Amino acid sequence: MANDSSDFARSMAIATSGLRAQAGRMRVISENIANADSTSPTAGGDPYRRKVPTFSSALDRTLDAQVVTLGRIKPDQSNFRVKYEPSNPAADASGNVKYPNVNSVVETTDMRDAQRSYEANVNIISATRRMIQRTLDILKS
Amino acid sequence: MSINDLPVLSALRTKMQWHQERQRVLSENVSNSDTPNFRPRDLVEPKFDKSGAPTGSMRPLAMTVTSASHMTPSGAASSFDQNKNAGFETRPAGNAVNLEEEMMKSANNQMDYAAVTSLYSKSLHLLKTAIGKG
């Protein structure tokens, strides 16, 4: 065995890496939702571009296990929404305003997915804790 | 002969180690439930002969680590066989983790572990009774 910590401690550490990654994903999603209607500060400029979180699996050498990490947060290259609003200060010469390429439906489903994965990781941690408790109960008998 | 050499206790201990290792594998699967191209893994259940010793491929030839800086191959279990056929549905991103299935496995693992620890303490009780302290 490459490390001294017990397998239960390793299980908890792996699940914690999942919690951290999902929390990071949640942060990116909230950033997208918060900026769903922001426009460019300059007339005719590009507004906020949607960010997409990526996950990667990495070998943690101290844990000797595959943990998950939040990889690079990449910009979504899809087109901006364009609305004709000549009175808007961010409108270009022809009166069109570019809005971010954020779709609230996509963000909401992503958020539900992140929440589900987060809960699954929390479940693993509580299950592992109950198993540790059972081990300690042997001493009590 | 130490207490740990009793067949019942050593079999139960192996089973507990197996559950511990399985919990680690399941936790790896759940935490990587959104990683592209990740395949979930599981462990093959241990089998015991009549004397309580593990049989079959439970004791593979271990690789020898000749230097402290050597890495173990990723995902290699210490002494239990891996079941490579875990997971039956693959998402377009190549991830085959099914959260519901993993939750079921984790709950099963936890209940079985509880049963084994109860058996272990009962066996210790028996020993205590045998030496007249129970």
Contact call for A117 and B103, based on CB within 8 A? no
- Measure the CA dihedral A25/A27/A28/A31, to 10°: 160
* pLDDT over threshold 70, residue B77: no
| Contact residues of B toward A, CB < 8 A | 16-17, 19-21, 23-24, 26-28, 30-36, 38, 71-72, 74-75, 78, 99, 102-103, 106-107, 109-110, 113-114, 117, 120-121, 124-125
Type of residue at A54: T
Q: pLDDT tens digits for B10-55?
A: 889 889 999 999 999 999 999 999 888 888 888 888 887 777 777 7
In this prediction the pTM is 0.81
Q: Do residues A67 and A60 touch, judged by C-beta distance below 8 A?
A: yes
Tell me what the mean pLDDT of segment B89-108 comes to: 88
Instruction: Output the CA–CA distances (angstroms, integers) from residue B78 to A49, B43, B102, B113, in the order listed.
Output: 46, 11, 21, 19
**Residues from chain B contacting residue A128 (CB–CB below 8 Å):** 23, 27
B51 Cα to chain A: minimum distance (Å): 23
Q: Do residues A128 and A15 touch, judged by C-beta distance below 8 A?
A: yes
- CA proximity to B87, closest of B75, B97, B77: B97
Q: pLDDT tens digits for A63-102?
A: 888 899 998 999 999 999 999 999 988 898 999 999 999 9
Instruction: Output the CA–CA distances (angstroms, integers) from residue B50 to B4, B8, B10, B128, in the order listed.
Output: 17, 10, 13, 24
